[in-house]
A and B are shown apart, each in its own frame.
Chain A
Amino acid sequence: MEIALSLASVTSKNNSSLIGSLKSYCRHFLFLKASSIAILILLSFSSAISLGSSASAAEEAATPTKLYGTISGKDGAPLPNIGVAVIGPEGFAKDVATDAEGKWEVEILTKGTFNLTINQDDLPDGQALTDPTKSTVRANVFMLGVDLRLLFPIGPGVAKASTLERSAQLAVDGLILGLIIGLAALGLSLIFGTTGLTNFAHGEILTFGGLLLYYLSAIIKLPVLVAAPIAVLLGAFISGFLQDRYLWKPLRKRGTGLIAMLVVSIGLAIFLRYFFLFLFGGDTRQLPQYAGQAGLEIGLVNITPKSILTTVIGIIFIILATFWLLRTRMGKASRAVSDNPALASASGIDVQKVIKAVWILGAGLATYAGVIVTVNQGVSFLMGQDMLLLIFAAVTLGGLGTANGALVGSLIIGLFVQLSTLFIPTELKYVGALIVLIIILVVRPQGILGKKERIG
Chain B
Amino acid sequence: MDFLFIAQQTLSATIGVNTIIFALAAIGLNMHFGYTGLLNFGQAGFLAIGAYSVAVPVISFGIPLWIAFLIGIFNSVIFALLLGVPTLKLRADYLAIVTIAAAEIVRQIARSATFNEWLGGSDGITGKFGKDFFALNPFKSGLDTPILRFNANDLWVVITGWSLVAAITFVMWIMVNSPWGRVMRAIREDEDAVRSLGKNVYLYKMQSLIIGGVVGSMGGFVYALSRQSVQPDNYGTALTFFAYTVLILGGAARVFSPVVGAMIFWFLIVFIEQVLRQGVTNNVIPHWLIGINQVSQIRFMLMGLGLMALMIFRPQGIFGDKKELALDAKA
A267-B305, A441-B94 as given contacts; A5 in contact with B153, CB under 8 Å = no
Nearest Cβ on chain A to B87's Cβ, whole angstroms: 7
- Hey, what's the 0/1 contact readout for B157-174 against A, CB within 8 Å counting as 1? 000000000000000000
Counting chain B CB atoms within 10 Å of each CB, which of A49, A260, A389 scores highest?
A: A49
A6-B233, A49-B151, A431-B108 as given contacts; A259 in contact with B307, CB under 8 Å = no
Across the interface, B301 reaches (CB within 8 A) one of A257, A259, A271, A441, namely: A271
Nearest Cβ on chain A to B156's Cβ, whole angstroms: 10
The chain A residue with its CB closest to the CB of B5 is A29
Across the interface, B229 reaches (CB within 8 A) one of A51, A131, A270, namely: A51
Query: Is the CB–CB distance between A259 and B113 below 8 Å?
Result: no
Residues of A contacting B114 in the complex (Cβ-Cβ under 8 angstroms): 425, 427-428
CA distance A224 to B129 in the complex (A): 54
CA distance A435 to B298 in the complex (A): 35
A251-B312, A389-B101 as given contacts; A17 in contact with B153, CB under 8 Å = no
Residues of B contacting A434 in the complex (Cβ-Cβ under 8 angstroms): 101-102, 104-105
Interface-side segment among A7-15, A284-292, A305-313: A7-15
Counting chain B CB atoms within 10 Å of each CB, which of A5, A16, A51, A198 scores highest?
A: A5
Query: Is the CB–CB distance between B112 and A7 below 8 Å?
Result: no
Residues of B contacting A320 in the complex (Cβ-Cβ under 8 angstroms): none
CA distance A266 to B241 in the complex (A): 7
CA distance A16 to B296 in the complex (A): 7
The chain B residue with its CB closest to the CB of A15 is B293
Residues of A contacting B91 in the complex (Cβ-Cβ under 8 angstroms): 454-456
B261 within 8 A of A: no
CA distance A396 to B227 in the complex (A): 38
Interface secondary structure of A, over-half rule: helix
Query: Is the CB–CB distance between B151 and A445 below 8 Å?
Result: no
Residues of B contacting A396 in the complex (Cβ-Cβ under 8 angstroms): 94, 97-98
Residues of A contacting B89 in the complex (Cβ-Cβ under 8 angstroms): 445, 456
Q: How many residues of B contact A (CB 8 A)?
A: 83
Query: Is the CB–CB distance between A441 and B86 below 8 Å?
Result: yes
Interface-side segment among A231-239, A273-281, A343-351, A364-372: A273-281
A44 within 8 A of B: yes
Other A-B pairs, 13, CB within 8 Å; known A198-B93, A267-B310: A16-B296, A18-B269, A50-B127, A50-B128, A51-B229, A52-B128, A134-B113, A260-B312, A264-B311, A271-B300, A271-B308, A274-B298, A445-B89
Measured CB to CB, the residues of B under 8 A from A are: 5, 9, 18, 21, 39, 85-87, 89-94, 96-98, 100-102, 104-105, 108-109, 112-114, 122-123, 126-128, 142, 151-154, 223, 227-229, 231, 233-234, 236-239, 241-242, 244-245, 248, 269-270, 273, 277, 293-301, 303-312, 315, 326-331
Please name 29 pairs of A and B residues whose Cβ atoms are closer than 8 Å in the assembled complex, sorted by A: A7-B21, A16-B296, A16-B300, A22-B270, A41-B142, A45-B153, A48-B151, A49-B151, A50-B126, A50-B127, A134-B113, A251-B312, A263-B311, A264-B308, A267-B306, A267-B307, A269-B304, A270-B238, A270-B307, A273-B304, A389-B104, A392-B100, A396-B97, A425-B114, A428-B114, A434-B101, A441-B94, A455-B91, A456-B92
